[in-house]
Structure 1
Amino acid sequence: MQDLLPKRPLLVTTGEPAGIGMDIVLMLADADKLQDFDRPIWVTADNEEMTARAEELIKAGTLKNCPKWQVVDWQMLKDDNDNRVNNKSDLAASAGAQIKPNDSGFTLINIPCHAPVVAGRIDTNNSAMVAQQLTLAHKLAASKKIAAIVTGPLQKSALIDADIKLPDGTMFSGHTEFFMQQCGCDKVVMMLANQAMKVALVTTHLALRDVPAAITPDNVRQTVQIVLDDMRTKFGMDKPRILVCGLNPHAGEGGHLGLEEITIINPVLQEFIDTGVDISEAMPADTLFTTKHLNNCDAVIAMYHDQGLPVLKSHGFGDTVNLTLGLPYIRTSVDHGTALDLAGQGGANDSSLYQALSMANDMANKAL
């Protein structure tokens, strides 16, 4: 079911203030590219630091002018039980409803930093502000006040050094784990997508020696089900076509190069095939990623990180979007880091953020 007008906004978290998160938002706004989306754009950042970064980029020759934006205090939106969040006039203003179609502006949700920001220099005093962006984004998405979260880059080491924890009290390990735990999900799936292909992963950031033990029937089954569910509900595909990589070279070569395909992967895939799902058995990864096969599938499931992602990124690095499947809301992300050496200096690439916004917008329009 598509949103009723006015459409709910897309929320961009700028992440680490010393990185390029603010830069790439400003670059899109300056180029009028935020007008390409049929939804208001909200951005979490420190208002004063956003202004300062714009001035730096103007001096660097990256921006022609300082883009326009409206400012909303994050305290107005942070509490789901706060009546102010449900006040129509406040919400309409914060949603950017007053921004005219030809205006390049966005709505900035002001979350102040705790220390002055120096572009390119991490200050862990500001790590709490980064975490506050994510917490607010989750609350707004979970309460359906926004249509999607689009995350800019953060510096994991800065949050770890600042002793910022995940909701379960463990070390902060990234956006994916944060949103998964906030939503109470047992399993989510990382998918990367560009114009050439969509690739989902059964395992993510594991040492290669630990991958075989993580290829269990439950893990494969849950991954396939989440991919199927989100392809249907978030991409609008009634009958998605899925191809699956084997774990071993040549998909095990009939058991001569490994037994995981025979004992684990194919039995699970057969369960889905028997119910009418358009999914392959385990295929050799060295031939699956060819035009012949990719032209006849909607998504690929790879067994581990470096099996699928190098191929995908070779077909669109800089234009690739990171998605988290299995959440109760849409979350896309840029596929790059904080690029501290480029922050405030010019030279950052805003393409991945543009693609992440585009995909979030399309998914929100197709979401059931």
Structure 2
Amino acid sequence: MSLTARPVAISCGEPAGIGPEVAARAWTVLAGEVPMVWLGDPQHLPEGTAYKVIERPDEAAALDTDVLPVIARDFGSPAVPGTPDPGHAQHVIDMIALGVSLVRDGAASALCTAPLNKKALKDGADFPYPGHTEYLAALGGVEDVVMMLASDQLRVVPATIHIPLEQVPLQLTPAHLRRVIETTHEGLRDHFGIARPRLSIAGLNPHAGEGGTMGTQEEEWIAPLIDMMRDEGYDLTGPLPADTMFHAAARARYDAAVAMYHDQALIPIKTLDFDRGVNVTLGLPFIRTSPDHGTAFDIAGKGLANPGSMIEAIRLAHRMARG
């Protein structure tokens, strides 16, 4: 079976959240366009979902597009929307590991992960990782992974992620920023088909330091690092004032922006395309995407969840698998 005919594996995520319902709704939109297989307990799918239990991903190709292929595992109890069951936690973790295994073995083309609730995993299974991405990195045997948020309007990478703002200048070293730029460059080249990616690098301080009057990191080491990497062949611009990087004319000049911290990256993409942004993990030895939202316990099971981000995450995983 060719790589593009292999299904995208979709891990179930937290059963009490919106993951199962947005996956089921995504399948109704993408059936016939993107081959996929859902991993989880089928009793957690929305009532009325037409599905067929299979043993191996390659069996999905023989099914009609009016049934969702499912590799089923018994989680032991139904899911109550909005209320995580500690007994489900290890099963949720196992479905992520199964998805990674299927992709690395060549049975699936890519992995799309539904949202987790980290507290539920820690309470039910003593999950030792800060989040989804760190667990995937451990399964992949790598450390230097990068989170990219992507939509049709913008690709942006935060160089630092879930840390207090006061810790950003401490984590943001020349070696760290170099790894982020290198990993972003390689991901765009290898999985997005961009032979020579253009990257714009934000400054850390307001107005990119404005000549040292608002901060010195730009002059002391960010600009010299960019100049050094540009001499090595990277197509880089910056450091640029972040407040002028994300209007339409600016976005046309780069393939991805590298921001210095979480909100500097996520505010623009969530403003531009809140419902369709996709989380992509670069630097893994397999393709992984995820919708850019959480478990949304407050609306789980009410039919209110917007499946747009899940639809785009599955589509992007399929496109990345095609290179």
Is the contact made by 1:32 and 1:104 (CA closer than 8 Å) also made in structure 2?
no
Could you list the runs of 5+ residues in structure 2 that have no partner in the other structure? none
In the TM superposition, what whole-angstrom CA distance separates every residue of 1:84-126 from its partner, at most 9, and x where no partner exists? xxxxxx5632xx02123xx232210112113332122111111
Is the contact made by 1:159 and 1:172 (CA closer than 8 Å) also made in structure 2?
no
The residue aligned with 2:18 is 20
Shift in CA distance, 185/232, structure 1 to aligned 2, threshold 3 Å? same
Residue 211 of structure 2 aligns to a residue in which SS?
helix
Is the contact made by 1:128 and 1:164 (CA closer than 8 Å) also made in structure 2?
no
Return the alpha-carbon distance in structure 1 between the equivalents of residues 94 and 3 of structure 2. 29
Shift in CA distance, 365/251, structure 1 to aligned 2, threshold 3 Å? same
2:94 is aligned, of 124, 128, 132, to 132
In the TM superposition, what whole-angstrom CA distance separates every residue of 1:130-161 from its partner, at most 9, and x where no partner exists? 10111111111222221111011111110011
Is the contact made by 2:153 and 2:272 (CA closer than 8 Å) also made in structure 1?
yes
* 1:42 counterpart = 2:37: yes
TM-score by length of 2: 0.95
* 1:206 counterpart = 2:170: no
Residue 140 of structure 1 aligns to a residue in which SS?
helix
TM-score by length of 1: 0.84
Q: How does 1:70-85 map to 2 (within 5 A)?
A: 70-73=52-55
Could you list the runs of 5+ residues in structure 1 that have no partner in the other structure? 55-65, 74-89, 166-170
Cα RMSD, aligned residues only: 1.6
Return the alpha-carbon distance in structure 1 between the equivalents of residues 58 and 106 of structure 2. 14
Residue 172 of structure 1 aligns to a residue in which SS?
coil
In the TM superposition, what whole-angstrom CA distance separates every residue of 1:309-364 from its partner, at most 9, and x where no partner exists? 10111001011000111111110001111112222221111111001011111111
Is the contact made by 2:276 and 2:309 (CA closer than 8 Å) also made in structure 1?
yes
Is the contact made by 1:319 and 1:351 (CA closer than 8 Å) also made in structure 2?
yes
* 1:303 counterpart = 2:300: no
The residue aligned with 1:162 is 124
Return the alpha-carbon distance in structure 1 between the equivalents of residues 3 and 260 of structure 2. 41
Is the contact made by 1:270 and 1:281 (CA closer than 8 Å) also made in structure 2?
no
The residue aligned with 2:58 is 92
Return the alpha-carbon distance in structure 2 between the equivalents of residues 221 and 112 of structure 1. 44
Shift in CA distance, 246/91, structure 1 to aligned 2, threshold 3 Å? closer
| Number of corresponding residues | 323
The residue aligned with 1:83 is none
Query: 1:5 offset after TM fit, Å?
Result: 6.3
Return the alpha-carbon distance in structure 2 between the equivalents of residues 255 and 233 of structure 1. 37
Return the alpha-carbon distance in structure 1 between the equivalents of residues 26 and 249 of structure 2. 36
Residue 220 of structure 1 aligns to a residue in which SS?
helix
